[in-house]
Amino acid sequence: MLDDLKLIHIRDAKDALGIAQNQWQQYMYDFKLSWTPPNIINKVVFVGMGGSGLAAKAYKDWLGLNVPFEIIQEYDLPNYIDNSTLLIVCSYSGNTEEAITVFHKVTSQSEKADKNPMIVVVTSGGELRNYAEIANIPILLLPTGLQPRMTLGYQLRALCEIFEACNFNKQSLTDIGIASDWLKQKIEQWEPLVKTENNIAKKLALDLIGKSVIIYSSSKFFSVAYKWKINFNENAKMLAWCNQLPEFNHNEFIGWTNMPVEKPFSIIDIRSSLDNLRINKRFDITAQLLSGKRPNPETIELEGESKIQQILWGIALGDFVSIYCAILGGIDPTSVDLIEEFKKRLI
């Protein structure tokens, strides 16, 4: 079925696969940011929900910062916010309720100058863009017409430009450019023209369809596991969960031991040559002790010599696998109608 290009075109009418194939270009997008922070930055807070929060998770896994860096996914900010804080508010649509609420809370505190952070907005438009323009706040404008989860490359590039403007991680733009060129060649292995027998993404989709997928990784690559989870939820409309080692071995691990092995689950272990050796040992011992107590995991070995290559490779593979699962299930991999209906009812 996944080698039937006509069927793929019908079921993927909005071309999610085309976006996945060209995602390497997103990492090369030039926002031409010409902003300089007015104060010394000693902490960073990022606000972004769902697909608008993915890039911050990936950046933390990749480089992190030499100052505290917290990701907020709710309506309220931490009490420590002050004028030495960089606040990045990200909403792809520009209409995300939580992001706009935070933005208004901060910008309405004009009488508390010592508590006002430096703000940068990342969005494609909407109310957030309008409010930022009125307040003369710097904006990195994302290309429009996509789903938030499908713009991780643009958003990660935006963070690189912001943090380089702040004199953090001055090599990041060069490194992500090199990684994107490398990724272009790797993605070609998973494209629709590559037959199933030679296409790991198609093979995995055939193994996973109809199951609830649980993805495990080290904490070092948890952004990859989390992106896989979101992909299965939103692209394939499948239940999926994720967790990270070593925390998994302190609780969830034991939950597999008292149920029949014939569970409606599939397990993905995302492993890396860059992981701590103790993490690799944990994966091995976990597999031994849970043999016969859970489905055997599919092991994904992240490819690439650098951490950013492995992160981008893992994220891209998850995109293709989940889109192929949607096609197998006869589901539009792009639309998320139920989420849109939920947002309408919140108004």
pLDDT, tens digit, 9 for 90 and up, residues 253-307: 999 988 766 668 999 999 999 999 999 999 999 999 999 888 999 999 999 999 9
CA distance 222 to 89: 22
At 336 the pLDDT is 86
Q: Among 197, 250, 340, 344, which one carries the catalytic annotation? A: 250
Cα→Cα distances 224→32, 245, 290, Å? 28, 13, 24
At 140 the pLDDT is 97
CATH number of the domain to which 198 belongs: 3.40.50.10490
> What does the mean pLDDT of the chain come to?
94
As for how many domains the chain has, the answer is 2
Q: Is 9 a catalytic residue?
A: no
Dump pLDDT digits (tens) for 118-172: 999 999 999 999 999 999 999 999 999 999 999 999 999 999 999 999 999 889 9
Q: Are residues 175 and 238 in the same domain?
A: no
- DSSP code, position 146: S
Residue 333 included in any domain: no
Tokens 């079925």 sit on residue: 1
Q: Are residues 170 and 205 in the same domain?
A: no
If DSSP codes are grouped into helix, strand and coil, which group holds residue 90?
Answer: strand
At 113 the pLDDT is 61
Residue 84 included in any domain: yes
Q: Is 343 a catalytic residue?
A: yes
**Sign of the C-alpha dihedral, residues 6, 7, 8, 11?**
positive
Amino acid at 18: G
CA distance 93 to 63: 27
Q: Is 247 a catalytic residue?
A: no
Is the pLDDT at 230 greater than 70? The verdict is: yes
Q: Are residues 37 and 151 in the same domain?
A: yes
Element at 245 (helix H, strand E): strand 240-245
Q: Are residues 36 and 104 in the same domain?
A: yes
If DSSP codes are grouped into helix, strand and coil, which group holds residue 321?
Answer: helix
Domain boundary among 180, 201, 233: 180
Burial status of residue 173 (CB atoms within 10 A of its CB: 0-12, 13-18, 19 or more): middle
State both tokens at 40: 């010394």
Query: What residue numbers bound the domain in which 292 lies?
Result: 5-14+184-328
The DSSP line for 102-124 is HHHHHHT-TT-GGG--EEEEEES
Q: Among 98, 127, 161, 234, which one carries the catalytic annotation? A: 234
At 343 the pLDDT is 81
Query: Which whole number is the average pLDDT over 244-258?
Result: 93
At 109 the pLDDT is 67
Residue 291 included in any domain: yes
- DSSP code, position 42: -
Q: Among 105, 170, 195, 343, which one carries the catalytic annotation? A: 343
At 261 the pLDDT is 65
Q: Are residues 119 and 230 in the same domain?
A: no
Dump pLDDT digits (tens) for 70-114: 999 999 999 999 999 999 999 999 999 999 999 999 988 655 666
Question: Checking phi first, is residue 322 left (phi over 0); if not, alpha (psi -120 to 50) or beta?
Answer: alpha
Residue 342 included in any domain: no
Dump pLDDT digits (tens) for 163-193: 999 999 889 999 999 999 999 999 999 999 9
CA distance 347 to 3: 43
Q: Are residues 206 and 135 in the same domain?
A: no
